Amino acid sequence: MSLVTGLIQVQLKSVNTKRKLQTSYKYMIFLYRISTVLTLVWIAVAYFFSFLLLNHLPMTTSTSVPVRSLLLVVLNFALSGSHVFGQPTSWTDKNVKISTTGELTIKPSQTSSAHDFDFLEGKWKLDDKKLKSRLSNSTEWIKFESTVEMRKLLNGIGNMDIYKTTLDGKPLEGVALRLFNPETRLWSIYWADSNRGVMDPPMVGSFEGDIGMFYCKDVFKGKPIIVMFHWDKTDKNNPVWSQAFSPDNGVSWEWNATNTSHRVK
């Protein structure tokens, strides 16, 4: 009887332990979901009030300038929370489909037009930063400055950037050529720089209002990836560009480069 009693007690302890683990797991999942919801609420609230106040504050009062600056910081922080730069994140875009084999199907947004990049015309000073190492779980960012001058081409359906900076003590010059196809209503963005002298595969996409999304298939260190450009022109005088790589056909993305442009008057 003592042996049977001992076995029963062991089984009861095992069942109790299993129940405790299940309860702990459910509790952790609950906390994770709550934290995710709170983060999304914070981003939405910060974005709404910052955008609301930015569009209603007068430009000429002595107090409006510092207040606007503070609100821009809050707004950029809220928006960057959705990117989590440098960390793999998920991403969805209703205008693109990525198959399990990495094939891209891209359609234009309803608002796509040849005027989507008109805001970039002119001279700009950029605050850049990029990950020191890509697709290696790096969290170290390199900051630098650059300049860009953009002019229109081909009666407005094209434009070109001349990009200049200095990296590691060496001058770098790049060219971005953007072409709008009136038939497909899609933009194609081509890039070449003085380091390689080769035109990269075109980034294809469009703007949905103030947000532009562009994609292409490429190869990084011998492995196929999908590249994404994200343009945010909500603030026409301080637009933000970001770049992400996906090594798993769009399941996750690592944001590895970004810059904010400031118009030179």
Least confident of 12-26, 94-108, 127-141, 212-226: 12-26
Q: Give the residue-averaged pLDDT of 149-177.
A: 97
Average per-residue pLDDT for the chain: 80
Nearest to 235 by CA among 38, 40, 79: 79
The 10s digit of each residue's pLDDT in 181-238 is 999 999 999 999 999 999 999 999 999 999 999 999 999 999 999 999 999 999 999 9
Q: Give the residue-averaged pLDDT of 112-121.
A: 97
Tokens matching residue 2? 């003592």
Question: Residue 8 pLDDT > 80, yes or no?
Answer: no
The 10s digit of each residue's pLDDT in 56-87 is 544 444 444 444 444 444 444 444 444 445 55
pLDDT of residue 25: 40
Q: Give the residue-averaged pLDDT of 98-108.
A: 95
Kindly state the percentage of the chain with pLDDT values over 70: 65
**CA–CA separation, 213 and 91 (whole Å):** 11
**CA–CA separation, 180 and 184 (whole Å):** 9
Contact 175, 192 (CB under 8 A): yes
pLDDT band, very low/low/confident/very high, at 93 (cuts 50, 70, 90): confident
Choice between 231 and 10, residue whose per-residue pLDDT is larger: 231
pLDDT of residue 265: 76
pLDDT of residue 91: 58
**CA–CA separation, 202 and 193 (whole Å):** 14
Tokens matching residue 256? 């590895």
Contact 140, 131 (CB under 8 A): yes
